[in-house]
Structure 1
Amino acid sequence: MLYPESFEQKLGFDKIRELLRQACLSPLGQTYVEKIRFSENFQLIEKMLRQTAEFKTIVQYETDFPSTNYLDIRPQLEKARIEGFMLTEEEFFDLKLTLRTIQQCLRFLDDDRRQSYPYLAEQAGIISVDKKLTDAIERVIDDRGKVRDSASPTLADLRRRIISEQAGLRKKLDGLLRNAKQQGWVADDVSLTIRNGRMVIPVAAEHKRRLKGFIHDESATGQTVFIEPAEVFDTNNEIRELEYEERREVHRILRELTDTLRPSLPDLHRATTFLGLIDFFRAKAKLALQLNAELPALVNQPMVDWQGARHPLLHLSFEKQGKKVVPLTIRLDSKQRILLISGPNAGGKSVSLKTIGLLQYMVQCGLLIPVYEGSTAGIFQNLFIDIGDEQSLENDLSTYSSHLMSMKSFLTLSNKRTLFLIDEFGTGTEPSLGGAIAEAILEQLNASGAYGVINTHYTNLKMFADKTPGLVNGAMRFDGEHLEPLYELEIGRPGSSFAFEISTKIGLPKAVIERAKEKLGTQQVNFEKLLKELDIEKRVFSEKNMEVSINQRKLAQQLAETTALQTRLDNEQKRILNDAKQKAKALVAEANQRIENTIREIKEKGAEREQTKQVRQQLEKFEKQALRTEVLVDEPKPQAEEEYTLESGAITIGSYVRIKGQTAVGEVLALKGKDVEIRIGDLKSNIKLARLEKVSRKAYRDATGESAKPKMTGIDLNEKMMTFSFNLDIRGKRGEEAMVELDNFMNNAIMLGYPELRIVHGKGDGILRNLIRQQLRTFPQVAGMHDEHADRGGAGVTIVKMK
């Protein structure tokens, strides 16, 4: 149920209807625009929204869907229904073009695309056009809209004879015209012409008696007459008779074709209805693209959960001016059903109210709405609005009386599936009385379980909402320092009217403002002042919290990098030691082999046992020396503690310290009980006090060598994480340019560890899509890839799953 009767006009849906009407290609689609109605049937609403979303995809990405010859042939079909009636050549030509468009639509939605566009394919599944009928029309009507010569043997013979007679007639008339020119009866530049369907010669009026024949016409000045020479009377008559016979034959053919058409009228009516629906769906899809509208998630319960909602008409108006609408984020659910919006005048309260009402109405009329992806729309049984002035001289209603009449209807008809919208709640009468009545009405509306949004300036309503379950305050944000509206809705706190501040800004005398504050009383003034200060402080603390959060993430990243660096250094040191030991063992093994070879040679040469024993002892000594030498050379020497000059005394802020058992030295930045914050180079870390020992400033300089060492720079992962988007749009890019962007995008994604990526490349001929997928296969971190869902781009978007 809708309230009041002027619901559409108050919200501006009549203008949405007009935009849809203009987007239609024919009266067929415009008929369905007029039939748009509010519905509470969940299945029907979902079906209408899905059909529109599918057609939006077609308009965006499919170039072969027919977009011409959406003709209204309903009058022709009604005429053909009557026995004995005959359709004309023009009417059959419109029918031919329309049936061709319908067949193209049906071919587009055949089995190959049924999976991509299931809701549209379902609509097309019940439509059939008899191929025998279309072939019959094609055999009779040509592409100029005329009956073909081959439509019947008789017609072909008649037209051949007409052409032959006309050729003979022209030959005679050409001879007569040449003779008239030689006699000077006609000018040299005169040619044959047609009057009353007969070929004639233009003759100067003073010579009209010299050429025998019948005068058919004369020029406007009377200086030229058009004469049919007597010599061609019979030929012209013969041609005229043949033309009559041709016309009768054409009529016979068209009558027979109309009779052939008549049995198929029910199917043709259904096909025409289908074409009108396609035109209607196309208009809704075109409007959705104009509005950047999306299909929200739909739930069969009262609910509003919109991200980035924009008023459609305001969006179009701002787009022409090169401006952007500030989006609205709002949620109404079972816990917070009624939202009270407060704030200064001209701050956007009424626009927010109308945005909520218009978008909810559009959803339940089957139209996509301008919200961000991830939004959810519920279904309401009733939509009630009280916006604007309904005063009436005829009914003796004042402004306030009209509001009370609306409130009476709201209280009587509201239930748990009602959404009501009230602008300037309680105004129009004495403020204290109006506020009390408004609070009582709000209490009853809350008890009914209805959902709603209310704009108000009354303090008592703000306080009532703050302490009543089911109600929540909201404020249109306002820059209290510069006294400018921000047009942003903030839910969870009431807003100030900023009446005194705005009065000061526009130049109202200071004495008047101070006197007004005295009259208002300190309690109300302090309440408004507190709201203003809270708004400013909240914005300042929000900025500070953001800054602190960024710094904490940077610190955590730096500590992680320090730990990783220390681990790498330890592992590298172990690897070097192991390599050195392996080299030493290899050297010893080689020496042993040489020793054995030497001994074998000695034995073969008959050397004495004592000499051999001495040689073996010397070689063993060599082995020990070689192994010890190898290890000492390759193994890094631990830093001698004598290289650092230790200092006595307690460790304080600014002291230079060394980590016990390590070579790292640093400066103390802060003391936190038993923990010490130190800086080692560009890195900061927290170390237990017991693990540190104090060193001299000279030892710190010698160890760090700050003047000689270049500062290291790294990648700011926090900044990358804040600026990186998982969505890459490379539509319209050349192949090489696209590959460079893709490589940079993938490198950043791998570095940041994103699990899923989205690459928009469009459909076209599929060349860019193939290049991108070939390049993605070169990344070992890619686990797989597939097309996006048809509702969100289909084959024009690649989803990349990362390992």
Structure 2
Amino acid sequence: MELKQSVLIDLNFKQILKECAKFSHSKKTTERILQIYPSSKKLEIYNKLNKTDCLLSSLYSGESIPIEIFPEIQSIFTTLQIKGNPLDENQFKNLYKILEISTNLKSTLSKSSFNSLKIEINSLYSNQIGKEKILKIFDDKWQISKNASPELNHIYNKIQSKEMSIDKKLSSIFEKAKNNNWLHGDNIQLLDERKVIPIKASHKRKIPGIIFGQSSSGKATYIEPIDVTEIKNQLIELELARKTEIFKILLQLSDFFRDELDLILQGYESLIQIDMFTCMAKFSKKYDCILPNFVQNNNQILIRGGKNPSLIIQNKEVIKLNFSINSENKIVLITGPNAGGKTVVLKTIGLFSIMVQSGFHIPVDEAKIPIFTKIFTDIGDRQSIENDLSTYSAHLNEISHITDQCDENTLILMDELGTGTDPDAGASLSQAIMEHMLYKKAWLIATTHLGRLKLWAQETKGIMNSRMIFNKKELMPTYEIKLGKPGSSFALEIASRMQLDKSIIKRAKELLGDKSLKVEFLLTELEHERREVHKIKSRINKQRKYIHEAEERIQQLESEAEQKYNTAEQDALDDVHKLILETRKDTEKLIHEIKSQKANTKSVKRARQKLDEKLRTVTERRRKSKKNQKTKSYKKNLLDSNVLIEGMKIKIPMFNAYGLIVQEPNNKGQLIVELNGKKLRLHQDQIIPIKDDISDEKEDLITQIDYSKPVSIQLDIRGKRIDEGIESLIDFLDGALVSGLQTVSILHGKGTGALQKAVKNYLKTQSFIASFQYAHPDSGGAGITEVTLK
């Protein structure tokens, strides 16, 4: 990625790195963090962000990451590179520390939620055999254990025996000297690490041995008896043997790790990487950062509730930034008062871009950030004494480089565009520069005070005016940005607030005349016309929606009336049929009585025929009614199974909307439809095919969806209060159940965790919830809860 160091300085990125490095657990990690540099490779950026995200999810869930301060291994590496060189006790202590931390990390991070760190986790050096070998030869004070080898144990036993012999021999000679009154003192003394007996100078010949000194008065002579000296010499030989055996043990263990040197170095590098991403995750948690979204084709910059982390670190009051532009307006011209926050907007957008492309999350409520291949800044004083450049010349030098190098994937941030020279010339040059940027399709965000540029920008396609809001009542900036409308510099108002002499301000207004006011008036008129057009469009859309809803209501009433009529007719026929059956039963009973009384057979037969005829008439009417209903149902089913084809226009009553079939029904009657760019899985009974001759105008109108119903499988409640969020969640889940959705997701963000916890507690109480869990780290982690409905 092309990026000058001056860009990192202008945007205070180094300050972010220093703050992040405060969380590190080693000097090497600190060095690595301070060397972080943004990338323009999409896959590399995604990997870094996901590694940070999975560790952040762990922190938010309350899991601790078992990493602690760990030592450098450069001296270990240097020693092991030379064959025959053993590590010393302190080096083995440091190596064991690395092994222990790596083992604990591998155990904790081996869960599927840390798949983004799989390569680093698997590379950690956690050789269990090596750990056991180290523990076997060292005691808890990191001294070589007497039991490190059988030979060493044997030597220690001999040393102990010789030391006991020395003590025994000395005690015997001391008692003899004492009994003979040869002593000049009451105890055996230690002189130059040798045990000696203090003998009166007049009796020094009485004890055969080596004289190691005498007292300052000359009255006492310090003698090591000859018998003790012989044992002492044997002890020296044993001490030499002990050191030789220890060297052998250390060398043997060092050779074991020498063969593992590449794995040790690889594991240490992975440990640094994990520590670095842990620091980035802790930074994200401390400053309430989230994982931003990326946009396809780099066609949008969106920041909602953005807070400049550099200002937060400095404990300054921060006003949240809301900023949104797309590829139709890639150039934004910001105007407004001095000290009103224009430069902060530039720096915040630039800093967010660099942070994201370096693997950092950013402190926003929501963000969509393109991936830039180049970022340029022209902020502050570029004056160069060494190159004999004035401030303006230095700016031009920088702009020349930018205009040569920029392309459609370049972000350019320019402060005070057009200043430093004659205003007319500066405005002309600035306009030409922006026209060049338009031609190159670069992203440019610039600040200016030049009214001519504001007017030109308002009339030019591809450029968006914006202003920093100024409180005219209090004569103070609010530090908030308003997109779509230019602003004033409020120079005279600010001068008044700063208590500049009123006569000077009055004269300035006279000199200013109405030229500036005319520009402001034209800009205001343009903005007014734009708002009026927007109102007219909005009114037309509302009228279209009203007409559509009226048509739908009429169709619904007609359908309900027809259904009620069919139901009433069927109920009536059923009642008649029931009555006829009962009548026939009574008639049969009557006939039986007539027969029993030997009535006329013909009259009885005629009566029965009439009754049968009535029964057949009613039955036939009833059969035809049922047949008509079955035919309607059959035709509907036939239409569902044979005519529902890809590309067909359909109506979805539950959403009061129209869409297209994008996947034909399967054997279960399930199909996929497209609705305003969203794909939904529905049953064929939930849709109604419509004629192809529906007008484009009507189609444009009726594809407006009532989003209070679950046309999406995801609910976004970030930034809402807990009560608002839960209320939205209840409505969303109700709609999901009615729509027959099986899985949905709730995007609540991580933040302080309060909204996340409230969602979790509510889901636990609902019987229609089959299960719920956090999303995979690659898909949002603990910021999204995935819900399965029964």
Shorter-chain TM range is 0.5 to 0.7
Q: Show the counterpart of 2:324.
A: 330
Residue 37 of structure 2 aligns to a residue in which SS?
Answer: coil
The answer as to 2:358 corresponding to 1:365 is: yes
- Describe the superposition over 1:143-192 as per-residue Cα deviations: whole angstroms up to 9, x where unpaired: 65444454212444566788999999999xxxxxxxxxxxxxxxxxxxxx
Question: Do structure 1's residue 316 and structure 2's residue 312 form an aligned pair?
Answer: yes
SS at 2:454 equivalent: helix
Residues 600-633 of structure 1 show CA distances to partners (whole Å, capped at 9, x for unaligned) of 13422x254499879979x99xx99xx9xxxxxx
Change (3 A) 1:740 1:542: closer
SS in 2 for 1:452: strand
1:726 alignment partner AA: L
Amino acid at match of 1:290: K
Residue type at the aligned position of 1:347: G
Task: Evaluate the alpha carbon distance shift between residue 747 and residue 130 of structure 1 in structure 2; reply closer, same or farther with a 3 A threshold.
Answer: closer
Residue 150 (structure 2) pairs with residue 153 (structure 1):
yes
Provide the TM-score with structure 2 as the length reference: 0.64
User: Is the CA contact (8 Å cut-off) linking 1:305 and 1:375 kept in structure 2?
Assistant: yes
Q: How does 1:608-757 map to 2 (within 5 A)?
A: 608-609=599-600, 726-727=715-716, 746-747=733-734, 749-750=736-737, 757=744
Secondary structure of the corresponding residue to residue 259 of structure 2: helix
Residue type matched to 2:260 in 1?
A: S
The CA deviation string for residues 59-88 of structure 1, in whole angstroms up to 9 with x for no partner, is 445837532353322222223334454333
Segments of 5+ residues of structure 2 without an aligned counterpart are: 169-189, 196-224, 619-705
- Equivalent AA in structure 1 for residue 11 of structure 2: L
Amino acid at match of 1:338: I
Q: Percent identity?
A: 28
In structure 2, distance between residues paired with 1:427 and 1:408: 16
Counterparts of 1:61 and 1:757, CA distance in 2: 22
Contact 2:309–2:363, Cα closer than 8 Å, also in 1: no
TM-fit CA distance, 1:15: 0.5
State the AA in 2 paired with 1:365: S
In structure 1, the residue matched to 2:14 is 14
Match of 1:462 in 2: 454
Match of 1:522 in 2: 514
SS in 2 for 1:347: coil
Instruction: Please give the TM-score of this superposition, normalised by the length of structure 1.
Output: 0.63
For 1:595, the equivalent position in structure 2 comes to 587
Query: Does structure 1 retain, via aligned residues, the 8 Å contact 2:120–2:273?
Result: no
1:136 alignment counterpart: 133
- The aligned residue for residue 101 of structure 1 is 101
Shift of 1:519: 2.0
CA distance in 1, matches of 2:324, 2:3: 23
142 and 792 in structure 1: CA distance in 2 versus 1, 3 angstrom threshold: farther
Q: CA separation in 2, counterparts of 1:168 and 1:742?
A: 87
User: Which residue is 1:387 aligned to?
Assistant: 379
| Aligned residue runs from structure 1 range 510-549, under 5 A | 515-529=507-521, 531=523
Write the letter of the residue equivalent to 1:133. G
Residues in 1 aligned to 2:455 and 2:194: alpha-carbon distance in whole angstroms: 94
Correspondent of 2:371 among 378, 385, 390:
378
Task: Report how far residue 529 of structure 1 moved.
Answer: 4.5
Q: Is 1:166–1:239's contact at 8 Å kept on the other side of the alignment? A: no
8 Å CA contact 2:307–2:364 kept in 1: the answer is no
Select 1:789's aligned residue among 768, 776, 780.
776
Whether the 8 Å contact between 2:744 and 2:787 is mirrored in structure 1 is: yes
The answer on 1:74 being equivalent to 2:74 is: yes
Q: Aligned partners of 2:573 and 2:192: how far apart in 1?
A: 119
Contact 2:53 / 2:291 at 8 angstroms: preserved in 1? yes
Select 2:259's aligned residue among 241, 254, 263. Answer: 263
TM alignment of 1:151-190, pairs within 5 A: 151-156=148-153
SS at match of 2:260: helix
1:524-573 deviation per Cα after TM superposition (whole angstroms, max 9, x unaligned): 21322554687799899999999999999899989978986897688567
2:341 to 345, 348, 351: 348
- Does structure 2 retain, via aligned residues, the 8 Å contact 1:478–1:485? yes
Q: Tell me the matched-pair count.
A: 644
Question: 2:279 matched to which residue of 1?
Answer: 283
Cα 1:56/1:168, change in 2 over 3 Å: farther
Change (3 A) 1:759 1:299: closer
Match of 2:27 in 1: 27
| 1:575 Cα deviation after fit | 4.5
Distance (whole Å) between structure 2 residues aligned to residue 573 and residue 802 of structure 1 = 37
Change in Cα spacing, 1:448 to 1:551, as seen in structure 2 (3 Å) is closer
Alpha carbons 2:334, 2:446 under 8 Å: kept: yes
Work out the CA distance in 2 between the residues paired with 1:739 and 1:539.
35
Question: Where do residues 752-767 of structure 1 align in structure 2 (5 Å cutoff)?
Answer: 757-759=744-746
Query: 1:795 deviation in Å?
Result: 8.4
Q: Aligned residue for 1:495? A: 487
SS at match of 2:376: strand
C-alpha deviation, 1:11, in angstroms: 1.3
Cα deviation digits, residues 676-733 of structure 1 (max 9, x gap): xxxxxxxxxxxxxxxxxxxxxxxxxxxxxxxxxxxxxxxxx999999x992579xxx9
- Amino acid across the alignment from 1:256: Q
In structure 2, what is the equivalent of residue 672 of structure 1? none
How well do the aligned residues superpose, as a CA RMSD in angstroms? Answer: 5.9
Q: Given the superposition, is the C-alpha separation of residues 44 and 741 from structure 1 closer, same or farther in structure 2, using an over 3 Å criterion?
A: closer
Any conservation in 2 of the 1:726–1:756 contact (CA below 8 Å)?
A: no
Residue pairs, 1:434-473, within 5 angstroms: 434-447=426-439, 450-468=442-460, 470-473=462-465
Where 1:308 maps in the other structure, the secondary structure is: strand
Distance 2:233 2:758 in 1: 68
SS at match of 1:15: helix
CA distance in 2, matches of 1:419, 1:272: 37
- Correspondence for 1:432 among 424, 428, 450: 424
Shift of 1:263: 2.8
Whole-Å separation in 2 of the counterparts to 1:514 and 1:397:
38
Change in Cα spacing, 1:49 to 1:741, as seen in structure 2 (3 Å) is closer
Matching residue's letter, 2:81: R
Match of 2:340, SS state, is coil
Aligned to 1:6, what secondary structure does the other structure show? helix
Question: 1:419, 1:452 within 8 Å by CA — same for their partners in 2?
Answer: yes
Measure how far apart 1:4 and its partner are: 5.6
Q: CA deviation at 1:361?
A: 2.3
Q: In the alignment, is the contact (CA less than 8 A) between 1:70 and 1:279 conserved in 2?
A: no
Residues 740 and 390 of structure 1, relative CA distance in 2, 3 Å threshold? closer
1:295, 1:369 within 8 Å by CA — same for their partners in 2?
yes
Q: CA deviation at 1:8?
A: 2.1
Q: Contact 1:497 / 1:528 at 8 angstroms: preserved in 2?
A: no
CA distance in 2, matches of 1:147, 1:117: 39
Contact 1:74 1:272 (C-alpha < 8 Å) held by counterparts: no
Q: Compute the displacement of 1:455 (Å).
A: 0.6
* Letter matched to residue 285 of structure 2: L
Are residues 88 and 562 of structure 1, via their aligned partners in 2, closer, same or farther at CA, if it must alter by over 3 Å? farther
* Equivalent residue number for residue 698 of structure 1: none
- Within 1, Cα distance between the matches of 2:46 and 2:278? 17
Structure 1 unaligned regions, length at least 5? 172-193, 200-229, 628-716
- Contact 1:328 1:489 survives alignment (8 Å): yes
Distance 1:592 1:299, change over 3 A: closer
1:794–1:453 distance in 2 versus 1, CA, 3 Å: closer
1-side partners of 2:738 and 2:517: how far apart? 55
Structure 1, residues 458-511: CA drift from partner, whole Å, max 9, x if none? 122223334555544333344567765454444444333244555566676777
Residue deviations 1:310-344, cap 9 Å, x none?
344256359x68x76423323364x5443222223
Residues of 2 paired with 1:610 and 1:362: CA distance? 107
